[in-house]
Amino acid sequence: MKPILEDTFGRKHNYLRISLTDACNLRCLYCIPEEKMQVTPSHKMMSAREIFEISKIFVDKGVTKIRLTGGEPLVRSDAAEIIMALSTLPVELTISTNAVLADTFIDTFKKAGIQSVNVSLDTLDADEFYAITRRGDFHKIMDNIYLLLQEGFDVKVNMVVMKGVNADKINDFVEWTRLYPLHVRFIEFMPFAGNKWLWEKVFSLKEMLEKISTAFEIEKIDDKAHDTTKNYSVRGFKGKFGIISTMTAPFCGDCNRMRLTADGKMKNCLFSKEETDLLSAFRKQENILPLIEQCLQAKKAERGGQFDFEHIENRSMIRIGG
């Protein structure tokens, strides 16, 4: 048995999320601040080799799952190289994408043994999609979701639900699971730098269940260990849906996640304001394991220790990684 990274609350961490880039081909309102954003210069980002070598250190300390995120990870020119390198490690490798480029990576995903793909999609209406993302790739994304299903991938569709924006459309997503084996996941709107978050925009777990129950007979599904999603299904439907209730019913007590930003900073929580610079130490050929352990020891019991969400200290979502 490998030693495993543990925090002061006894939580064992075997799941690493790695952002490959803070660049993206969409401009979602809740993720990217409206002002012009400068993408991190390539020399300040982890190289493909650095991502692999740093990941190996985490794997040697018990990490069994790695998820690649962004930005949009597939816009990185060496994304396929990174995916194939990480596939040689003894981990479950997964990816989160907006699926605009997914059709060009089908063979890479298969060769790398990727079985599960998370796709971000906040509406099933092309005009509303443009309003949210400021881009016109809706039909390409839909085609690629169906392509991923046809190719045998487990597809999870993530919808960030916001009052006054798309909360009235959640039943459309539930209806989508009638004929397709999708796992739709509704995510409560979370605060990050520059995304103009307000409590009034949060459509809660309770409100979602009430709205869905008015149209469907829903059943609770057992949740897996460390699952962030409260899962449900509609009797007779091929797919299922879940709710990620970060704001109103957090799931921090069972957290097993760590994050690496594209510029090599470790975050022990999505909401942590503190970060640990692993990349600078790695480039100096220093042992980064003590830094990893110190970062994890500083992990707070819940939501990064931040509770004044209207004055949160954090990066924008795109600079953290999903």
266-291, pLDDT tens digit by residue? Answer: 999 988 989 999 999 999 999 999 99
- List of domains in the chain: 5-320 (3.20.20.70)
pLDDT of residue 308: 75
Judge whether residue 104 has pLDDT over 90: yes
Can you tell me the mean pLDDT for 179-199?
Answer: 88
User: How far apart (Å, rounded) are the C-alpha atoms in residues 133 and 138?
Assistant: 9
Q: Tell me if residue 276 falls in helix, strand or coil.
A: strand
- The pTM of this model reads 0.93
Please give the pLDDT value at position 305.
81
Stretch 35-54: mean pLDDT, rounded?
88
Give per-residue pLDDT as tens, 292-313.
999 999 999 998 888 777 777 7
Other C-beta atoms closer than 10 Å to the C-beta of 152 total 9
